[in-house]
Amino acid sequence: MHYPGEILHIKNKELSRKLIRDGVAVDVADAASEVPPGTGVLARRKMGAEPHWVTALNLGMEVATKGLHLPFVLTIIWDSRYEPRRQDLAPTFKVLRQHEWDMAVPIKSYDRLVKHRAAKPEEKELTRNLIRDDRIPYYNPALVFCKRNERTTRLVKLWSDAMLAGGDECLSFMRAVYEVKPYLLPLPVTAASRVHSA
């Protein structure tokens, strides 16, 4: 059994062509050619080796050591506890590059709102006072696609500083979004799925 986003080496060329023709698979070489130059990943956690999807798409990679930043023109800020849908990576970067969006981030949940987020009461109040209504969905900042510009650089700094001060990652991200007001493209919840417990 195989799962969406897996990279498989299929020796049978006829079978691989059929899978691609049927829309069940994509050629990794073609997908890599769609990734714009200057694209890379900022991993929020140390890991043993680069994931296969990073090498297959020929992405640059850095590990965040002291806070978050945007080391590439197009950067994924990635928490390795989550797995991106690999088939969505190149198209998402293409949308960022060709359109006015500053960033793209998955929604965390369709059922849970800002008011449901488990966080310190004072941080929840700070967030509610800034965004004015805590009855809205919040984002999953485990997978943040960014086009480096003045807005995204400022947003990532605000978010990173808040987390370094002990803030909740999701509420800190929401506050940074409301302060900076980037052109943010919400992605579906399925854009990032949890693979390891926190």
Q: pLDDT tens digits for 38-51? A: 899 999 988 888 88
Question: What class does CATH assign to 13-194?
Answer: alpha beta
Q: What is the dihedral of CA 61, 66, 72, 75, to 10 degrees?
A: 80
Is pLDDT at 4 greater than 90 in this prediction?
no
- Given a cut of 50, whether residue 24 has pLDDT beyond it is yes
In this prediction, residue 16 has a pLDDT band, given cuts at 50, 70 and 90, of confident
Domain extent listing, the chain: 13-194
Sign of CA dihedral 166, 68, 94, 181: positive
**Tell me, what DSSP letter sits at residue 111?**
S
Q: Which two structure tokens, joined as six digits, stand for 38?
A: 């200057």
pLDDT band at residue 13 using 50, 70 and 90 as cut-offs: confident
> Residues 70-81: what's their mean pLDDT?
95
Cα 45 to Cα 63: distance, rounded to the nearest angstrom: 7
What local confidence, expressed as pLDDT, does residue 198 receive? 40
Q: What is the predicted pLDDT for the residue at 31?
A: 53
List beta partners, residue 60.
40
The pLDDT, as a whole number, for residue 17 is: 77
| pLDDT at res. 23 | 60
| Rounded distance between C-alpha atoms, residue 10 and residue 177, angstroms | 43
